[in-house]
Every structure is written in C-alpha cells, then in structure tokens.
C-alpha cells in the first residue's frame, strides 16, 4: 500500500498513447483502473472533446456503468445522479454525468450540488467535461483523466494540475490523432487488394504504425503517392455504421468511425516512411506513417520515440 501511495504522489502526469478503435480504448480504460484507481476516489474527472473516446474509456474503467448517452432531456432529468435524494445502501455505488449535455436542462449549481450530495454519502461520481463543472464545484477531482492525442492520467493536489490545464493540452492535440487515424485508413484502403502478411496496429506520436509478422512486398513510394492523391481530392470522411466509414463513395472497415477529420484534405503533411523498420524484440516488420510534420522532420521524430505495442 505504501508503494502505491508513493507511485501516485510522485507522478504528476502519466501518459498513454490514445488508441484508435473502440475495443482498444476500452482495454486502456481497464488498465487505468488497475493501475491508478483508488477505491476511496469519489470524483473521477474526464476531460476531452466530443468523439475523443471518453465513453469507451469509461466503459472500460467501469464495466456495466449506467450512463446517459446523448442529450435526451427525459433521460437527463431522470438519471440517478439527479434523483438520489434518498441515497442509501441500495442506490448505485457509482454515478455518471455528462456535464455538457446535462447543463442544457439543469443549472450547473444543481449538478454540482448533486455531486456533493452523493460524494458526501461515500459514493463515486464520474464527471465527463469536468472542466465545465469545476468552477462551480470548487473541488478538484480525485483522479483526473484527459483524452486527446494522448491519454493523461493525474492525481491532482491542491496546487494542480487544474482541469483547464488538462483541457488545453488535450483539446489542442486531438486533431493529430484524428489526422493519423484518417491517414491510417487511407493506407488500409490503398493496400486492400494487395497480398499482406498477418498484422497488428500500434500508435506513435503524430502518426500510425502497422506491424507485420513477415516483411510485406509493398512499394512504399507508390502507396504514399496514392494516399497523397486521395488527400488532394479532399474527399469527405463520414461514419457509416459502428464498424465502417465512407471515404467519398467507398465504404471502408474501421474500428473507430467517429475518430476522423471531416475530409481527406484536412490531413496535413502526410508522409509514409520509405523503409521497413524491424523490431527485433517482437519480430515485426513495421510500416509507419506520420502527419503534421514535414517529411524529414517526420523521419527524425520517428527515431526518437518508442512504438507502443498493441496487445
């Protein structure tokens, strides 16, 4: 127990690559619970833009949690948190509120009072968009999680970090995750008819990684050219269903349909690294693509970061 307390108090921030795909985000949520959640935590603050993966992370952290999806007035006004006057043994142990949705129908002061009431009864509340509630609640979260290009986990003290600090980081970085995911799907589209070895996906800063168990026979220059042509056409990217998106008129499989830029033209400075990296620890041949950098900068950046393996 002493070790756990030291670990939490000494680490101001803990960073994870924010995975693309609903299942991988839920798995990360499970790991965060195992590593950082304290059974005595009363307020879990979640910060992130719309479609950044907050709901999937919460479902991974708290399997079976009752959440209010969307902003339906009836569901919000009747959610357990706002109707917990008689908090007792048989009421939920963990409540949830999406502040941005709830504030359309309920004053922030009322939401803050409900949070204070249930936490005073030793119940837990998961608060999405915690940065909005914080100025009214006037109490920081016990565990604060921000989701942008990376997932930040912190256990704030009286002196911070404050929710606005986390919000500034994650809101500004999310665009790179969206660009990288969109570029990754363009890569998959361009190689869909080619013979490919078995592969898994992984994450890097400002980019994507495909890990092959055998060396592919791709012409990386040619594939990069095809992807850049699709970017130049500025084709719309829209969700099609829970496992597919549409790029232009093409329907493409995707495990995170909401995590994209609006069109291919919004992918900036895409570059495909023109060589295969061999990972000797896991025996992978790696294809990497980057966004948001000029090509030479992208190659230099790739050599300074560690690739996160997908399990």
Domain boundary (95, 127, 161) is at 161
Query: The CATH number of the domain where 186 resides is what?
Result: 3.30.980.10
Do 46 and 135 fall into the same domain?
A: yes
Two tokens, residue 46: 């979640």
Angle of helix 163-190 relative to helix 220-232, nearest 10 degrees?
Answer: 110
Two tokens, residue 12: 């101001």
Domain boundary (128, 161, 194) is at 161
pLDDT for position 126: 96
Do 44 and 191 fall into the same domain?
A: no
Burial 180-195 (b: 16+ CB within 10 A, else e): bbbbbbbbbbbbeeee
Do 193 and 112 fall into the same domain?
A: no
pLDDT at 300 over 70: no
Task: Work out the average pLDDT over 12-38.
Answer: 89
Do 92 and 144 fall into the same domain?
A: yes
CA 101 to chain centroid: 19
Mean pLDDT, rounded, of the chain = 87
Do 276 and 246 fall into the same domain?
A: yes
Residue 270 is assigned to a structural domain of this protein: yes
Q: 68 or 222: which carries more pLDDT confidence?
A: 222
> Which of 2-6, 152-156, 159-163, 168-172 is the least confident region?
2-6
Tens of pLDDT, residues 85-99: 765 555 678 999 999
Do 8 and 156 fall into the same domain?
A: yes
Residue 167 is assigned to a structural domain of this protein: no
pTM of the model: 0.84
Task: Work out the average pLDDT over 200-218.
Answer: 91
Burial class (CB in 10 A: 0-12, 13-18, 19+), 64: exposed
Tens of pLDDT, residues 123-133: 999 999 999 99
Tens of pLDDT, residues 245-282: 999 999 999 988 989 999 999 999 999 999 999 989 98
pLDDT for position 87: 56
Do 148 and 215 fall into the same domain?
A: no
Do 127 and 218 fall into the same domain?
A: no
pLDDT for position 293: 65
Q: How confident is the model at residue 159 (pLDDT cuts 50, 70, 90)?
A: confident
Do 152 and 183 fall into the same domain?
A: no
- Tell me how many degrees the CA angle 52-9-36 measures, rounded to the nearest 5: 45
Domain boundary (127, 161, 195) is at 161
Q: At 125, phi and psi to the nearest 5?
A: -130, 130
> Where in the sequence is the domain holding 108, given as residue range(s)?
2-161
Residue 278 is assigned to a structural domain of this protein: yes
pLDDT for position 309: 46
Task: Work out the average pLDDT over 21-35.
Answer: 92
User: Could you give the number of structural domains in the chain?
Assistant: 2
Residue 250 is assigned to a structural domain of this protein: yes
Residue 196 is assigned to a structural domain of this protein: yes
Tens of pLDDT, residues 38-64: 999 999 999 999 889 999 999 999 998
Q: How confident is the model at residue 7 (pLDDT cuts 50, 70, 90)?
A: very low
Residue 311 is assigned to a structural domain of this protein: no
Do 198 and 95 fall into the same domain?
A: no
Residue 166 is assigned to a structural domain of this protein: no
Residue 310 is assigned to a structural domain of this protein: no
Do 152 and 179 fall into the same domain?
A: no
Say what percent of the chain tops pLDDT 70: 88
Query: The CATH number of the domain where 147 resides is what?
Result: 3.40.50
Q: How confident is the model at residue 305 (pLDDT cuts 50, 70, 90)?
A: very low
CA 114 to chain centroid: 27
Q: 90 or 171: which carries more pLDDT confidence?
A: 171
Do 136 and 45 fall into the same domain?
A: yes
């Amino acid at each position: 127990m002493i070790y756990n307390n030291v670990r939490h108090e000494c680490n101001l921030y803990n960073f994870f690559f924010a995975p693309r795909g609903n299942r991988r985000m839920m798995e990360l949520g499970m790991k965060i619970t195992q590593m950082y959640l304290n059974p005595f935590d009363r307020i879990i603050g979640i910060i992130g833009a719309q479609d950044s993966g907050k709901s999937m992370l919460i479902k991974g952290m708290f399997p079976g949690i009752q959440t209010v999806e969307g902003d339906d007035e009836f569901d919000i006004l009747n959610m357990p948190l706002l109707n917990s006057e008689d908090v007792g043994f048989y009421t939920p142990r963990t409540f949830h509120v999406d502040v941005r949705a709830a504030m359309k129908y309920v004053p922030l002061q009322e939401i803050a009072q409900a949070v204070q009431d249930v936490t005073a009864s030793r119940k837990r509340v998961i608060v999405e968009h915690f940065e909005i509630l914080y100025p009214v609640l006037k109490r920081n979260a016990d565990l604060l999680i921000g989701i942008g290009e990376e997932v930040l986990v912190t256990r704030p003290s009286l002196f911070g970090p404050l929710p606005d600090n986390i919000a500034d980081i994650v809101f500004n970085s999310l665009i790179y995750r969206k660009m990288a995911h969109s570029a990754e799907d363009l890569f998959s589209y361009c190689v869909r008819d080619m013979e490919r070895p078995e592969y898994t996906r992984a994450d890097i800063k400002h980019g994507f990684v495909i890990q092959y168990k055998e060396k592919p026979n791709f012409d990386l220059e040619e594939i990069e050219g095809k992807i850049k042509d699709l970017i130049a056409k500025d084709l719309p990217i829209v969700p099609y269903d829970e496992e597919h998106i549409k790029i232009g008129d093409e329907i493409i499989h995707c495990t995170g349909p909401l995590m994209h830029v609006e069109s291919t033209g919004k992918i900036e400075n895409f570059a495909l690294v023109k060589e295969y990296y061999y990972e000797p620890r896991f025996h992978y041949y790696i294809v990497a693509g980057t966004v948001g950098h000029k090509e030479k900068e992208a190659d230099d950046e790739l050599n300074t970061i560690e690739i996160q393996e997908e399990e």
